[in-house]
Amino acid sequence: MATYHCGHLLSLAEGIARITRGRGGVDVVIDSVSRALTGQALATLAVHGVLTSLGYSAGRNTTIDVTDLIWKRASMSGFSLFAQSHAVKAAAWATILPLLTSGKVKPIVERAYKLDEAAEALRHLIEDRPFGRVVLRPSLTTS
């Protein structure tokens, strides 16, 4: 993964180093992509940093450098929303919904499709690999 900045490509590690300006990395990474990004993200952690994996949209297999865990005394864990209790999910929604409705948190929506365009939305997800959410909205008809 690379980002384009000022005429040249930056690696994920270079981009994080610029953002954190000598702090030694980030404290928390939430990885929903996996594959090569997991190892790169692990390398961006600060001492005692934490990487939580909650998805694998780019693939389930990854390679990491264990020295990133050892020398940084970092930790990795997995998270599954489906494994959480109803009470935990309800508490999370009670926190999240007011943030969404107030506009304090705005999800990144790449594109919205009508429900009857679900096949095109799925094609877009698979082939175009968009950044941001792809949303299906009900087709409102008046009869």
| Residue numbers of the chain with a pLDDT score lower than 70 | 1-10, 141-143
Task: With CA atoms as reference, report the closest residue to 13 among 49, 48, 46, 43.
Answer: 43
pLDDT of res. 1? 44
Note the pLDDT tens digit of each residue in 18-59: 888 878 899 999 998 888 889 999 999 999 999 999 988 888
Residue 43 lies in a domain: yes
Residue 113 lies in a domain: no
Residue 135 lies in a domain: no
Residue 123 lies in a domain: no
pLDDT of res. 142? 56
pLDDT of res. 46? 93
* pTM greater than 0.85 (yes/no): no
- Total structural domains within the chain: 1
pLDDT of res. 26? 92
pLDDT of res. 10? 64
Residue 59 lies in a domain: yes
Residue 22 lies in a domain: yes
The CATH number linked to 34 is 3.40.50.720
Q: Is 33 exposed, middle or buried (CB count within 10 Å of its CB: 0-12, 13-18, 19+)? A: middle
Residue 120 lies in a domain: no
- Can you give the residue range of the structural domain that contains 35? 2-84
pLDDT of res. 90? 95
Residue 106 lies in a domain: no
